[in-house]
Structure 1
Amino acid sequence: MTDSVNKKVLIITYYWPPSAGGGVQRWLKFSKYLPEYGWEPVIFTPENPDFDLKDESLAKDVSSQIEVLKFPIWEPYSIFKKLSGRKELKQGQVLEGGKKGFMSRLAIWLRGNVFIPDPKVFWAKPSADYIASILESNNIQTIVTTGPPHSMHLIGLKLKMKNPAITWVADFRDPWSKWDILQKFNMTALVWRKHKSLEQQVIRAADCVLTVSESWKKDFEDLGARRAKVITNGFDEEDFKTSVSIPNSDKFRISHVGMLNVFRNPEWFWKVLNEMVGAGKFGNDLEIEFVGILSDDVLATFQDHTHLVPLIQKHNYLPHIEVLEKYRQSSVLLLLQNNSENAKGHLPGKFFEYLGADRRILCIGNKESDLAEILDRTKSGSVFEQTDADQLKTFLREAYQDWKNGNLNSNAEEISDFGRRSLTQKLSELLNTLGTR
């Protein structure tokens, strides 16, 4: 379909290349394929965002035909860094660090009780004012906001209030009031009410609340969302077509890709693995690889599992193109769910890339979760809870024997629905339906 007949959709996102990490992938990939289905994406993103990790390789997915509007943002992270005494604040580690001094506790309290819903809130009003001036002149009638950070949704709310005729999709990659991280900030009852009030305003004003799992969809419906839909995260088939590395068979490699902090650290699993290594179950073949942010608090727990310490390989950060190679060089891909109330609906983006990599998936988490249902449906792996130590040992022994026999593929089924192109088609159909109501 030619550009001249494409409808425009404005996507308001904090994360955009060169930002790295999972937060950027969802709308980067949607934007890549939307033009194939009659939609022309226009990106609105900060000009000077404060993020530590960058990945220039992601720029390959940004077409030169996509218009990217950048607007200045002020964020108070310099204050947090000064109060906490840290040179940088890595994602997910703000709340870690063991016993905290007064200034560090003050920084956490300020984050939770002053910057509502998050430190990007100062960007909301000036951004909404700027966007309002260009919507009509650019014939944009559909907008998408994606969070976290949930301040992006406040931009959508302000625009909807100014112009009720626009179509607004509020995309939640994580929940809001039920987000497990949010609940760690020692917020007062008044602040909690403020969060819930803002959430209510957003989900009731949006023409559609979009989220990534059926469980979270139900949560938003229970909260009063007028129209809630699910489009999961996914994997880009083109990424894996260009990944041509031959798997390294020197080691039986269990790999975890992505951030690992204390909120998803399964110490019982490390204990089981440590016992198996101590009993010689893997010979000298096992390697445990972490790719991504690995918190110091998690690393410290391995001191209690002495057989594992010499087997650990750690990569703080790798460009996405190299992460794809790491998937293929792995024997088992490890997926760890948070031990929290909302973990049932958590479907992390890397899970779908695990599917695309065609490697056996080992999940430590909730057997009643959305993730467990997809693993079972696709026959791509297994989920284990703390009471499943014996079954876990059987899984690992079988995976090890498969590796020794040269069989690394998971032979997963029915994964094509999770391809980025297929998911973007679903998104375009949703946008078309909303636009003709």
Structure 2
Amino acid sequence: MPSKKRVLIPAYYFPPYGTVGVFRLAKFIEYLPKFGWDPYVVTPVSDHYLDTESVHKFPNTLEAIEVIEQTDIWGGTMISRGLGSFNASDSLKRKTLQGAWVPSLVQQLLSTIQEYDIDVILGSGGPFLPLTALPVVKRRTSTPYVIDLRDPWVQPNGDTDGQHLLLRLKKKMGQILEPQVVRGASEILTVTEKLTSQYQSRYPKQSQKFTTIHNGYSPADFELIEPEPSDRFRITYPGKWYGREHAQMFLKGFERFVNDHDAELVHYGTKNTEIQTLIEELGLKCHVLSRGYVDRQTVAATTKGSNVGLVISRTSNDLPTKVFDFIGCNVPILAICDPGSILDEFIKQFRNGYSVPKRSPDEINSVLSDIWETGPTALGDTNQVSEYTIESTTKKLSTVLNRAIE
């Protein structure tokens, strides 16, 4: 058997720490050995993380890793204390710590490449600042790198004049740093066709480097989970409420729906006082169950016992990770989003994927009533759903990594 190739993965967030963004990278790592790649990981020590541990531990991912190197963050303790004394926001602390990690990251990447004869580097963002280490390392070692952009580094469109100073600074830094990282990359991944198109328009000379690889789901995470039953029509929403405006149109549509139907909305995630007030104002207290944070298996059991999974987008570029968990559970999906958005176009490909404009509570009520009447039990057929398994997306990633080292 030929020896496996070696991919080095710098990851600011890595299990057991990190937000939903860590799922994509963790699952890639789990399946890469199946396609001839040994993953090597560089990540910071956990001392300076401002985030709590994830409830999902990714044991298969950790088992798949050949070597994990942990580095300190330069001046991390001083940065945390200094910004804390000025009552700086957690967001500013995170961005500062991510930037401060870059010098240590460069040194560790150089050391690991020399010690283990690495073939290629795979960097994922956000966070984006650690990606700036990759062109530096490439100049020193000639090791090619691939970047995986889960979100736009620089948000498209929009005037920054009315934005907070820190947001304007963040955008300006992105406009300076992003081109350097993009031009030095051998291959570039994005998670949607629309994001790929946006990047190709911005970098026409680099357009051939871009490949779309969607997020995905692992069948093993869902197939043995028994559905949590309910006597009511159930909608499951695992996600964050981003303020009153984000939630109120759906909740108004849901209010109209429960006037004629016995239904419940099960929410997993941070409880929001503003949203709880809105729920009470709309008379939905007996219909909305807020369960806080729990492990993915519990969410999956609730989802598998649901009539529909709910997704509410924030921007036209959103394709939330929870969509792929719903695909894994093979339940109908209701997306509240802008017409023509990435989420709208993606959901409509499925037989029982429903998309409703954000500001249409009457239409939300109408679509929920149609789902009640027709009673669909699955999102789509087996072939359509299996297209989005992590194994199939990692196979595409392996092809991209091989191109990078040719």
How many pairs does the alignment contain?
394
2:322 counterpart of 1:350: yes
Change (3 A) 1:77 1:395: farther
2:234 counterpart of 1:236: no
Residue aligning to 2:264: 287
State the AA in 1 paired with 2:50.
D
**Bigger CA drift: 233-242 or 388-397?**
388-397
State the AA in 1 paired with 2:139.
M
Change (3 A) 1:128 1:324: same
Query: Aligned partners of 1:254 and 1:132: how far apart in 2?
Result: 49
2:227 counterpart of 1:246: yes
Residue aligning to 1:394: 366
State the AA in 2 paired with 1:38.
G
Partner SS state of residue 384, structure 2: coil
Conserved in 1, the CA contact under 8 Å of 2:40 and 2:65? no
Residue aligning to 1:331: 307
Question: Which runs of 5 or more structure 1 residues have no equivalent in the other structure?
Answer: 85-106
How far off its partner does 1:201 sit? 1.3
How far off its partner does 1:414 sit? 1.2
Residue aligning to 1:128: 106
Conserved in 2, the CA contact under 8 Å of 1:236 and 1:419? yes
TM-score, normalised to structure 1's length?
0.82
How far off its partner does 1:186 sit? 3.6
Query: Aligned partners of 2:371 and 2:236: how far apart in 1?
Result: 13
Conserved in 2, the CA contact under 8 Å of 1:360 and 1:410? yes
Provide Cα deviations, 1:24-58, integer angstroms capped at 9, x if missing partner. 11111111111111111111112213312422542
Aligned counterpart for 2:349 among listed residues 371, 377, 382: 377
2:10 counterpart of 1:28: no
Conserved in 2, the CA contact under 8 Å of 1:21 and 1:53? no
2:387 counterpart of 1:410: no
Aligned counterpart for 2:121 among listed residues 135, 143, 149: 143
Query: Aligned partners of 2:334 and 2:309: how far apart in 1?
Result: 6
How far off its partner does 1:70 sit? 1.7
Residue aligning to 2:292: 316
Query: Aligned partners of 2:86 and 2:309: how far apart in 1?
Result: 38
Residue aligning to 1:202: 181
Change (3 A) 1:179 1:224: closer
How far off its partner does 1:158 sit? 2.2
Q: Percent identity?
A: 23
**Bigger CA drift: 292-301 or 165-174?**
292-301
For residues 4-403 of structure 1, what are the structure 2 equivalents within 5 Å?
A: 5-19=3-17, 21-48=19-46, 49-63=49-63, 66-73=66-73, 74=76, 76=79, 84=87, 107-108=88-89, 118-163=96-141, 165-178=142-155, 185-187=164-166, 192-224=171-203, 226=206, 227-243=209-225, 245-262=226-243, 265-277=246-258, 280-282=259-261, 285-305=262-282, 307-338=283-314, 343-386=315-358, 388-402=360-374
Change (3 A) 1:22 1:411: same
**Bigger CA drift: 42-51 or 57-66?**
57-66
CA RMSD in angstroms, aligned pairs only: 2.7
State the AA in 1 paired with 2:45.
E
Conserved in 1, the CA contact under 8 Å of 2:148 and 2:188? yes
Query: Aligned partners of 1:121 and 1:198: how far apart in 2?
Result: 12
How far off its partner does 1:324 sit? 1.8
Query: Aligned partners of 1:43 and 1:138: how far apart in 2?
Result: 12
Query: Aligned partners of 2:18 and 2:277: how far apart in 1?
Result: 26
Query: Aligned partners of 2:303 and 2:257: how far apart in 1?
Result: 24
Conserved in 1, the CA contact under 8 Å of 2:253 and 2:362? no
State the AA in 1 paired with 2:216.
G
How far off its partner does 1:289 sit? 1.1
Provide Cα deviations, 1:405-427, integer angstroms capped at 9, x if missing partner. xx533334612221100000000
TM-score, normalised to structure 2's length?
0.88
Partner SS state of residue 179, structure 2: helix
Provide Cα deviations, 1:7-31, integer angstroms capped at 9, x if missing partner. 0001111222112541111111111
Change (3 A) 1:120 1:314: same
Question: Which runs of 5 or more structure 2 residues have no equivalent in the other structure?
Answer: none
Change (3 A) 1:320 1:185: farther
State the AA in 2 paired with 1:318.
V
